Structure 1
Amino acid sequence: MRERNLRKQALESGKTQSRKARETVSTASSSRATSAAASPRGGGSNVASRNVSDDESEMSDATQWSTNSIDEMIAPPAEEDGAQDETWKAGLEERIEELCDRKRSSAQGREEALLVFSTALVRHYAADEIRVRREELVVALLKSVKGGQSERETVLALKALALVLVTEPSDTVYDALAGPMKACINDAQHVAEKIGAIHALSVVTFYGGASEEETAEVMEFFLDIVSSDGAVIEEADNADIVTAALEEWGFLATQLEDMEETTEPAMETFVDQLESASVDVQIAAGDNIALLFEKSYTEAESDDEPADEDEDLDEDVRNGSAPRMIKRYTVYRQQHQLSATLSDLAKASSKRLSKKDRKQLHLSFADIMRTVERPTRGPRYSTALDEEGREMGSRLKVAVHGGGRMTIDRWWKLHRLNGLKRLLREGFLVHYEFNRVIFESLPVMVEDD
């Protein structure tokens, strides 16, 4: 019996697969004509909310790509003295030697080296150590991606490549890495490898020197994965695959200024995914919808019509502390229908949902709905008045070292933050403080408490 389709009605069952998804499934083999042979795994679809396999559960956190709550994921680093500092540097250099000299290495030895290497790059800013060996490391890690002898080796190598590039970016490495990453997404034997490759390809595109056209091509690839429910890469109805593609589409979309031409097909796909049986898919699709509405507004220019006296402006615009924003194009023509769907999700009460999932749906879609109705307002925007009678605005704050907080008041900032957290996890604050590349990716001013 065929497994339940990923795109089931979120609040009530019975919705069939979308026309676009059916067409994509029927033509999946032709779309992969240029790829390698199909995965040897058995056919059939996966349950939407699949259980993690025993093999996957044994993997270290260094192999995982996930975004939990800000409080859970961002923790201050442990204090280190000079001796500890030298210890991790020496250990990292040893692992770099092991990875670059593969002649006498075993699969298990490479796994151990990759684990220690990735953990060190997460917990520390190691630009000096990586800079002089970056080219060698990329070549060595790519060998493990292409010919890893175990699932663990491949996944760890994908994570390590991404960490190398956020530590020491390159203007040229995209050309060498994009093809193997896409091949891994298409043809890997294990789901964890495909998910890791989706996330790694996004990082390689962002920090590896991809052009705007190449970035758009990768985003289109991710959109194909989402619109086919994963079938285009032979992972039909796999919610984890779809979630990863949605997340990284949003991360890369923050780089593009003009998205008017690509908004319509993207919106069709994301609105369709609001009916997924997976809460993670629904939220990732909703976050992308909010980002597209936000991007449809830009700052007013000198030749734009002056503000009307009756125009409903946010308080920051009225008092001159924020620029006036102008709508440039229509994001979605059936906005009334979309608003009704978002409202239902913001109040979802289905018994099939856990208490945690209901809370997350309510919180996320209340935010998304507010932005769709008022695109100049970012996540967690509150119209409640403070002690001085001003609107409180965005209340999404991230604690940083020294007792300060940064305000995530735009959707593009939230997408960047989540993308960096997926990769850096508990090391985010270390990199935000010392890694200029990370700070420039999310240049948010820190406010004192």
Structure 2
Amino acid sequence: MHDLRRQALESGKTVSRKARSKPSSAVSSRGNSAPNSRAASRNPSRNVSDDEEGNLSDGTAWSQCLYVFETLRLTHHGSTNSIDDMIMSEDADAPPDAWRMELSDRMEQIIDRKRSSVQGREESLSAYTHIITAQFAQPEIHSKLGELVPALLKSVKGGASEKETVVALKALAVTLITDPSDTIYDAVYQSLKQTISDSESTLAKIAAIHTLGTATFYGGASEEETQDVMDYLLEIIESDGNSVDAADNGEVVTAALEEWGFLATQLEDMEDSTEPAMDAFVEQLESSDPSVQIAAGENIALLYEKSHTELEDDEDAPPNDSDSDSDASSASDPNAPVMVKRYTVYRREDQLKHTLESLANLSTRRLSKKDKKSLHTNFADILNSVANPTRGPRYQNAVNQETGKRYGSRMTVRIHKAGEMRIDRWWKLHRLKALRRVLQGGFVNHYEHNEVVFDSLPIMIARK
């Protein structure tokens, strides 16, 4: 397994300048057909706020995939209540191992598909996922992994309903985070890619994109294979979804953008990959979908951040300019390493800054107040990081009168009573969002008990 410490919208579509210049085609027509209508017709304000965890939320239809999963879980009243009781440690009446017994039963049901109904498979998959999301169950599932993964893939490839496919993809993603393996990427890659390309369900495409990102990160993909997946995701972004038969589907493009950024956090040297990626991301800033714009902007900020690395022992320090990029982090932390610019991220930086500034101050009636607020907040951060790449999300230039230091990045996530996790780098934000997309409400429990999750985001906790 990888050493993770080292790796350490009104229409609901994205319509960029490139897409507007293309003639309509059969592909575009199919992309707007019934399979996409459900996702496209949702309210454009997809960002669900989370006041307890720094307003960190995800703006893709992955949340709708999770809605399908929760709907499945809640509609089976008899089993759901018992499962919820079993996983609640506060329930003194529940046997300590009740959830383990339930999990064992569900795994057997998933593995043994004989005489199972569609509804039965949906229920078993959703119950299994609910348990391993809420509990850290690596010891329980490890011995069954060789049977579970093929069984889950059968529901992904041959799901008799959209719900079965989506919940199986969700189950596979949580399984991979719970018990990573060096061999799973090779086993699941083709099936996930085929689902992304061939499925007529928008939700299945989105779920498969996110599961592909998880499988690449935790399933044993090499650096070369990771780059191949990123190139595949970039094709989806550059084509506005056309390459996977999802023409102008903002939710599919957003998912590809998010997973590209997540995987980019693994790669140390991004210089050769930066130019084509930046061209695609800048293009998507013109999208009519705020989720696409924000995901593209966050990737831009990440690439600027990655263009700066720590000063080597044999290098001379850059000029001590209080306004320089290399001095920005030390202004809030005098012990912070000196960061040095290694290459130019984007040749037309003045034009990019103008675009980012326009988005940070956008005023239009076509967007909801929530979407406008989200654009303003996120692009103010992104613009700040493009101008000063050593500054992370929610960076504040204001000086604390008591300490005489800049406040710096003030984005934090509460981890129960332990304190607050500071998200002061874009790579941390990308990984946090990726983990929360999969683990949802189980993130804190996995962060505390799942070494793999902690190793993905090894951040010091600032105790109160």
The TM tier, using the shorter chain, reads 0.7 to 0.9
Matched letter for residue 413 of structure 1? K
Indicate yes or no: 2:403 matched with 1:388.
yes
1:384 deviates by: 1.1
Q: Name the counterpart of 2:52.
A: none
Q: Is the 8 A contact 2:12 2:41 kept in 1?
A: no
Q: Is the 8 A contact 2:13 2:40 kept in 1?
A: no
Q: Name the counterpart of 2:359.
A: 345
Q: Is the 8 A contact 2:195 2:204 kept in 1?
A: yes
Q: Is the 8 A contact 1:184 1:194 kept in 2?
A: yes
Indicate yes or no: 2:371 matched with 1:357.
yes
* Unaligned segments of structure 2, at least 5 residues: 1-10, 44-63, 74-86
Indicate yes or no: 2:151 matched with 1:151.
no
Q: Is the 8 A contact 1:416 1:442 kept in 2?
A: yes
1:44 deviates by: 9.4
Structure-2 separation of matches of 1:224 and 1:373: 28
Matched letter for residue 272 of structure 2? E
Matched letter for residue 179 of structure 2? E
Q: Name the counterpart of 2:444.
A: 429
Q: Is the 8 A contact 1:45 1:235 kept in 2?
A: no
Indicate yes or no: 2:283 matched with 1:268.
no
Matched letter for residue 413 of structure 2? V
Structure-2 separation of matches of 1:80 and 1:57: 25
Identity, % of aligned pairs? 50
> Closer, same or farther in 2 for the Cα pair 1:63/1:221, shift >3 Å?
farther
SS at match of 2:417: helix
Q: Name the counterpart of 2:115.
A: 104
Selected match of 2:90 from 73, 80, 87: 80
Structure-1 separation of matches of 2:273 and 2:27: 22
> Closer, same or farther in 2 for the Cα pair 1:301/1:26, shift >3 Å?
farther
> Closer, same or farther in 2 for the Cα pair 1:152/1:315, shift >3 Å?
closer
SS at match of 2:413: strand
Q: Name the counterpart of 2:463.
A: 448
Q: Name the counterpart of 1:413.
A: 428
The residue correspondences of 1:293-332 to structure 2 (distance < 5 A) are: 293-310=304-321, 312=324, 313-314=327-328, 316=330, 320-332=334-346
Q: Is the 8 A contact 2:183 2:220 kept in 1?
A: yes
Q: Name the counterpart of 2:215.
A: 204
TM-score of the superposition, structure 2-length normalised?
0.84
SS at match of 2:408: strand
Selected match of 1:140 from 138, 151, 171: 151
Q: Is the 8 A contact 2:12 2:251 kept in 1?
A: no
The RMSD of aligned alpha carbons is 2.8
SS at match of 1:99: helix
Q: Name the counterpart of 2:68.
A: 59
> Closer, same or farther in 2 for the Cα pair 1:27/1:258, shift >3 Å?
farther
Over residues 155-202 of structure 1, what are the superposed CA-to-partner deviations in whole Å (9 max), with x where a residue is unaligned?
Answer: 111111111110000001111110010000000121111111000111
Matched letter for residue 406 of structure 2? E
Q: Is the 8 A contact 1:63 1:155 kept in 2?
A: no
Matched letter for residue 51 of structure 1? S
Q: Name the counterpart of 2:40.
A: 50
Selected match of 1:279 from 266, 272, 290: 290
> Closer, same or farther in 2 for the Cα pair 1:63/1:233, shift >3 Å?
farther
Structure-2 separation of matches of 1:364 and 1:240: 18
Structure-1 separation of matches of 2:217 and 2:12: 35
Over residues 187-238 of structure 1, what are the superposed CA-to-partner deviations in whole Å (9 max), with x where a residue is unaligned?
Answer: 0121111111000111000000000010011111111101111011111010
Structure-1 separation of matches of 2:67 and 2:329: 51
Q: Is the 8 A contact 1:299 1:326 kept in 2?
A: yes
Structure-2 separation of matches of 1:407 and 1:332: 28
Q: Is the 8 A contact 1:343 1:365 kept in 2?
A: yes
Structure-1 separation of matches of 2:443 and 2:292: 24
Q: Is the 8 A contact 1:48 1:239 kept in 2?
A: no
Matched letter for residue 90 of structure 2? E
1:84 deviates by: 5.0
Q: Is the 8 A contact 1:158 1:197 kept in 2?
A: yes
Structure-1 separation of matches of 2:34 and 2:154: 30
SS at match of 1:17: helix
SS at match of 1:210: coil
